[in-house]
């Protein structure tokens, strides 16, 4: 049998043993007192999945201002750094490689997370969604439009988080610029009504992201930085595509050719965009010719389609999400043609071990059959 494209090594900047990437997945298992990862949960969970070519952690807040969900980890305090050190050691001891995703949710939050203060965003526009707070789901509010001082503080927060990631032993960082969160809110004309240098033109709407990227690469080599984007996100978290959406992402992706990043991480559409005239239905195929570096693709891939997209040349790496939740040995299952285990959506975000670290490998499953 010919070697699967997914199982071949990749050596440009990343130097990974295979092209099967564990996608960032919010699982809400962090300690509820200080948002730190724990040895008995996070270290075990990520260690179980260390056969992936690369693990990208769940989104981790760069500051207290960045929080928007309960029990999600951060990378801005000493306790959080110490917690992540245990995780990275476990993954490295098992031969794995791990990046941390740096996260700021922007307006997708609630005053309950911020001592009653408003969440930060490019403009004071309510996404009209719901935020999962310690007291359950609550309606979002109109956020505070960020001042230039807020923007500069946030740039420093990302830089400090990247510095902390290095101290915690991570192999790199991924800047979460996707899925309707803070950077995406700046990119999108429906959520960014600013009239200063951070709004209006597509160059202006991308400015904040590039200022953060430039600050982050001062503390970690750019070959250890990835960035995630979702160009055809529509109808999620108040994001609505318009005629400038795809040109904005084309501008960003082309400009990233001036950097030497570990990768860019793109998502295929989360919803049906076939009737939106200015949307792109096949993200990998559209953006591959625009970017000279490593391209990772995500959303809805299985073993067959993952092998196909790499073999076609439209992507170099494929990130798998839900399949990694229920198959800690996903690489081995691909390699041997083992049946894949189904995931349980009811335990995606619940506290504790169930649905988190209790999915058996195929071999463990067979032993107990």
Query: Of all helices (H) and strands (E), which one includes residue 172?
Result: strand 172-176
Residue 315 φ then ψ, to 5°: -155, 155
Give how many domains the chain has, as a whole number.
1
State how far the Cα of 340 lies from the Cα of 227, in Å rounded to an integer.
Answer: 29
Section 80-97 average pLDDT: 98
What are the Cα distances from residue 344, in Å, to 321, 323, 324, 348? 13, 11, 12, 7
Summary mean pLDDT of the chain: 96
Q: Tell me the pLDDT tens digit for each residue of 30-49.
A: 988 899 999 999 999 999 99
Query: What residues make up the domain containing 130?
Result: 5-367
pLDDT for the residue numbered 365: 87
Confidence of residue 2 (pLDDT cuts 50, 70, 90): low
Section 305-325 average pLDDT: 98
Closest CA to 234 of 222, 249, 220: 249
What are the Cα distances from residue 171, in Å, to 61, 73, 89, 302, 357? 18, 18, 11, 26, 23
Confidence of residue 367 (pLDDT cuts 50, 70, 90): confident
CB burial of residue 149 (10 Å; 0-12, 13-18, 19+): exposed
Q: Helix, strand, coil shares of the chain as percentages rounded to 5?
A: 35, 15, 50
Strand partners, 74: 61
Section 265-280 average pLDDT: 94
pLDDT for the residue numbered 369: 65
CB burial of residue 369 (10 Å; 0-12, 13-18, 19+): exposed
What are the Cα distances from residue 329, in Å, to 197, 307, 309, 362, 363? 47, 17, 22, 7, 9
pTM of the model: 0.97
Confidence of residue 1 (pLDDT cuts 50, 70, 90): very low
Give the CATH number, domain containing residue 73: 3.20.20.70
Q: Which residue has the tokens 């408003």?
A: 118
Instruction: Give the residue numbers annotated as catalytic, written as ranges.
Output: 181
Section 181-202 average pLDDT: 97
Cβ neighbours of 322 (radius 10 Å): 14
pLDDT for the residue numbered 134: 87
Residue 203 φ then ψ, to 5°: -65, -40
Q: Mark 342-351 as b/e (b = at least 16 C-beta within 10 Å).
A: ebeeebebee
250 secondary structure, DSSP code: H
Q: Mark 160-181 as b/e (b = at least 16 C-beta within 10 Å).
A: bbbbbbbebbbbbbbbbbbbbb
State how far the Cα of 155 lies from the Cα of 65, in Å rounded to an integer.
Answer: 12
Confidence of residue 106 (pLDDT cuts 50, 70, 90): very high
């Amino acid at each position: 049998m010919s070697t699967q494209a997914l199982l071949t090594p990749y050596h440009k900047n990343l130097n990974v043993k295979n092209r099967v990437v564990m996608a960032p997945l919010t699982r809400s298992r962090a300690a509820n007192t200080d948002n730190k990862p724990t040895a008995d949960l996070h270290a075990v969970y990520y260690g179980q999945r260390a056969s992936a070519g690369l693990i990208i952690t769940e989104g981790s807040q760069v500051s207290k201002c960045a929080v928007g969900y309960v029990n999600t980890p951060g990378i801005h305090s000493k306790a959080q750094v110490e917690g992540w050190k245990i995780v990275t050691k476990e993954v490295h001891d098992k031969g794995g490689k791990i990046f941390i995703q740096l996260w700021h949710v922007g307006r997708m939050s609630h005053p309950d997370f911020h001592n009653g203060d408003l969440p930060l965003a490019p403009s004071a526009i309510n996404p009209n969604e719901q935020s999962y707070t310690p007291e359950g789901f609550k309606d979002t509010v109109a956020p505070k439009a960020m001042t230039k001082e807020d923007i500069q503080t946030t740039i420093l927060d990302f830089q400090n988080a990247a510095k902390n990631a290095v101290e915690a032993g991570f192999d790199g960082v991924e800047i979460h610029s996707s899925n309707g969160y803070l950077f995406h809110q700046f990119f999108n004309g429906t959520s960014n009504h600013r009239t200063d240098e951070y709004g209006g033109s597509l160059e202006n709407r991308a400015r904040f992201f590039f200022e953060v990227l430039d600050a982050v690469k001062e503390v970690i080599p750019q070959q250890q930085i990835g960035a995630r984007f979702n160009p055809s996100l529509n109808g999620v978290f108040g994001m609505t595509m318009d005629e400038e959406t795809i040109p904005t992402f084309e501008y960003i992706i082309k400009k990233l050719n001036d950097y030497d990043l570990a990768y860019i991480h793109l998502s295929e559409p989360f919803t049906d965009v076939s009737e939106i005239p200015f949307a792109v239905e096949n993200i990998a195929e559209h953006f591959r010719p625009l970017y000279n570096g490593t391209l990772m693709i995500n959303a809805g891939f299985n073993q067959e389609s993952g092998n196909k997209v790499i073999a076609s040349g439209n992507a170099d790496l494929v990130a798998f999400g839900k399949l990694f939740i229920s198959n800690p040995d996903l690489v081995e299952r691909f390699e041997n043609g083992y049946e894949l285990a189904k995931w349980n959506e009811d335990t995606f975000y619940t506290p504790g071990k169930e649905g988190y670290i209790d999915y058996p490998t195929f071999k463990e499953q067979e032993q107990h059959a």
